[in-house]
């Protein structure tokens, strides 16, 4: 004789709780247009009208990188880790080429870059948004 199973119990409503997701929902993806606007504003506000000085440019690049990161932190989905790279140099008419290679998930991870140039300096700022799994 096989015993009958009792009817399944109703599961409690878990709708306020989110199930674990590996990838972010579309509205939580890295917002490249917002990041580009923030980078552009920070570079313009801090460099417009200034002349390049080779006296401790590291402090200025650190200030720019930290300002960009702080302005982005509250605007970008919390599971994204931000990497900010700032290159600052004297503008003497010579060209600059750079390259970066990263291993990441092309569906979630991305980057955005912007530049500032005046008569005496150039600055290139790049923000990498890497989703933390």
The answer as to whether 14 is a domain residue is: no
Domain of 101 in residue numbering reads as 28-131
Number of folded domains that form the chain? 1
The answer as to whether 86 is a domain residue is: yes
CATH number for the domain spanning 83: value is: 3.30.1140.40
The answer as to whether 15 is a domain residue is: no
Residue 27 token pair:
């509205």
The answer as to whether 63 is a domain residue is: yes
The answer as to whether 92 is a domain residue is: yes
Nearest CA-CA partner of 125 in 77, 50, 79, 60: 60
The answer as to whether 17 is a domain residue is: no
d(CA 76, CA 50) in angstroms, rounded, equals 30
Q: Indicate left, alpha or beta for 93 from its phi (over 0: left) and psi (-120 to 50: alpha).
A: left
Low-confidence stretches of the chain (pLDDT < 70) are 1-20
């Amino acid at each position: 004789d096989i015993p009958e199973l009792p009817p399944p119990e109703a599961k409690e409503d878990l709708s306020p709780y989110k199930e674990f997701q590996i990838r972010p929902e579309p509205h939580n993806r890295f917002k490249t247009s917002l990041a580009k606007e923030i980078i552009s504003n920070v570079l313009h506000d801090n460099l417009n009208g200034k002349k390049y000085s080779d006296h401790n440019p590291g402090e200025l690049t650190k200030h720019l990188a930290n300002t960009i990161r702080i302005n982005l932190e509250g605007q970008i989905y919390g599971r994204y880790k931000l990497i900010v790279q700032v290159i600052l140099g004297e503008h003497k008419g010579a060209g600059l080429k750079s390259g970066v290679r990263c291993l990441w998930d092309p569906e979630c991870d991305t980057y955005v870059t912007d530049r500032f140039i005046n008569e005496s300096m150039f600055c290139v700022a790049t923000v990498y948004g890497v989703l933390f799994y």
